[in-house]
Amino acid sequence: MSTLLSLQNVCCAYDEQPVVQDFGFTMQPGEICSLLGPSGCGKTTVLRAIAGFESITTGVISLCGKPLSTPTSVKPPEQRQIGMVFQDYALFPHLTVRQNIGFGIVKHPQRQQRITRLLEMTNMTAFEHRYPHELSGGQQQRVALARAMATEPKLLLLDEPFSNLDTDLRRRLSFEVRQILKDQGISAILVTHDQEEAFAFADQIGVMQQGQLLQWNTPYHIYHEPATQFVANFIGQGHFLPGQVQGKHLSTELGLINNPTPHRWPEGSPIEVLLRPDDIIIDTASTIRADIIYKTFMGATTQYTLRLKTGSIIESVLSSHHDYDWDEEIGIRIDAQHVVVFPAPSH
Ligand SMILES: Nc1ncnc2c1ncn2[C@@H]1O[C@H](COP(=O)(O)OP(=O)(O)OP(=O)(O)O)[C@@H](O)[C@H]1O
């Protein structure tokens, strides 16, 4: 399959101040990706460079093998066959839903049929004669999506499109939009700082920090095999427990753990093991004891914050059928499928 989008060694700067550095990834047709990272890390700048609103200082951005941006040439946004959906919907207030959707396809030979199809696809047929101010936030975002899809772009760029909506609607709409994109085979890049949204929406996720791409992989691999400590901390919950390399194992205060990379560090090297809440289970017979210092009931599960005898803090998530009390001492053990280890930071 030929590559849809490729970024190679892309750098972007504002007033000669670099904000995106040596950025690179590729996307296949039909893929949905997400750029995830803390505020100010450069997500929107990358998206705007792909759309053609920002120039690049090094590297190349190509679509279907043809360069869109190089440091010396920038194809204008309207010639890129790339659609964009923004956080604030950006609908035309004086146009109806139908007119908004049809705005970019005035010369389309089957304009009315296409609009009707897009109205159906986004479940907005009943609202076609309304104006944007007569719509809810979720409905406005559906119209913005239909308008962006009207021109049949090769790629859709979604810049925090759900962030103005309340949590419940955000989850539902992002699920719906993913279905529409997948049904239509439309490729998309979602920019978000909400990791749950990125996990639910994207086939591939790029985690960014300070203008750099730290890891580009599936949500599963990003969660279970984070490439750096920053990714491990940023994604999901978890605590690092200190330990040492001991043969094929890692020696920790929770006992010996299988070392997934036994040849990586010499015997005795200080390391840190990432333990996710689902890696720690209750075992009443265990000699490893921990005190419950905090407990959060979450419906189907309860999350316990546990203090080990050394003072280290870890977390455990359990079915809420079990109900342990604050301050209760419980037996625990590790049941980790994916052990993530980093060298201990040198102080
Ligand atoms: N027009 C601009 N002029 C100068 N600096 C800018 C401009 N736009 C963004 N920046 C800076 O570039 C960096 C990256 O900004 P960007 O908007 O790409 O980050 P982001 O990851 O999308 O952030 P957020 O999640 O808060 O939207 C930030 O430090 C920001 O202050």
Residue 48 CA to ligand 1 center (angstroms) comes to: 11
Q: In this structure, which residue's CA is closest to atom 18 in ligand 1? A: 42
Quick one: pLDDT at residue 94? 96
- The domains located in the chain, with CATH, are 5-233 (3.40.50.300), 238-343 (2.40.50.140)
Q: Which residues of 306-325 are buried (b: 16+ CB within 10 A; e: fewer)?
A: bebeeebebbbbbeeeeebe
Mutation to probe ligand 1, out of 44, 50, 55, 84 (largest number of atoms < 8 A from CB): 44
Residue 259 CA to ligand 1 center (angstroms) comes to: 40
Q: Which two tokens stand for residue 19?
A: 């904000």
Residue 44 CA to ligand 1 center (angstroms) comes to: 7
SS3 label, residue 308 = strand
CA distance 310 to 319: 26
97: left (phi over 0), alpha (psi -120 to 50) or beta: alpha
Q: Which two tokens stand for residue 217?
A: 């992989």
List per-residue pLDDT tens for the chain, 347 residues long: 689 999 999 999 999 899 999 999 999 999 999 999 999 999 999 999 999 999 999 999 999 999 999 999 999 998 999 998 887 778 999 999 999 999 988 888 889 999 999 999 888 999 999 999 999 988 998 999 899 989 889 999 999 888 877 888 888 888 888 998 998 899 999 999 888 899 999 999 999 999 999 999 999 999 988 999 999 989 888 889 999 999 889 999 998 898 877 778 889 999 999 998 989 998 889 999 999 999 999 899 999 999 999 899 999 998 888 889 988 999 999 988 888 899 988 76
Q: Which residues line ligand 1 at a C-beta cut-off of 6 Å?
A: 14, 19, 37, 39-45, 193
Which atom of ligand 1 is nearest to 48's Cα? 18
Residue 211 CA to ligand 1 center (angstroms) comes to: 10
Q: Which two tokens stand for residue 166?
A: 């309340």
Q: The sheet that has 340-343: what strands, in order across it?
A: 255-258, 249-252, 239-246, 270-275, 340-343
ipTM of the complex: 0.96
Quick one: pLDDT at residue 198? 92
Q: In this structure, which residue's CA is closest to atom 3 in ligand 1? A: 14
Quick one: pLDDT at residue 284? 86
Quick one: pLDDT at residue 1? 65
Cα angle 77, 80, 81; round to 5: 120
Residue 55 CA to ligand 1 center (angstroms) comes to: 14
* Residues 111/102, Cβ–Cβ less than 8 Å: yes
Adjacent-strand bridge partners of 296:
303
Residue 112 CA to ligand 1 center (angstroms) comes to: 39
Nearest to 141 by CA among 99, 171, 173: 173
Residue 277 CA to ligand 1 center (angstroms) comes to: 33
Instruction: Please tell me the pTM assigned to this model.
Output: 0.87
Mutation to probe ligand 1, out of 41, 56, 88 (largest number of atoms < 8 A from CB): 41
Task: Indicate the burial class of 58 (C-beta count within 10 angstroms; 0-12, 13-18, 19 or more).
Answer: middle
Mutation to probe ligand 1, out of 12, 15, 45, 190 (largest number of atoms < 8 A from CB): 45
Nearest to 41 by CA among 193, 155, 150, 173: 193
Q: In this structure, which residue's CA is closest to atom 27 in ligand 1? A: 39
Quick one: pLDDT at residue 86? 82
Quick one: pLDDT at residue 237? 84
CA distance 143 to 119: 8
Which atom of ligand 1 is nearest to 41's Cα? 21
Q: How far apart are the first and last CA of the chain?
A: 47
CA distance 245 to 344: 11
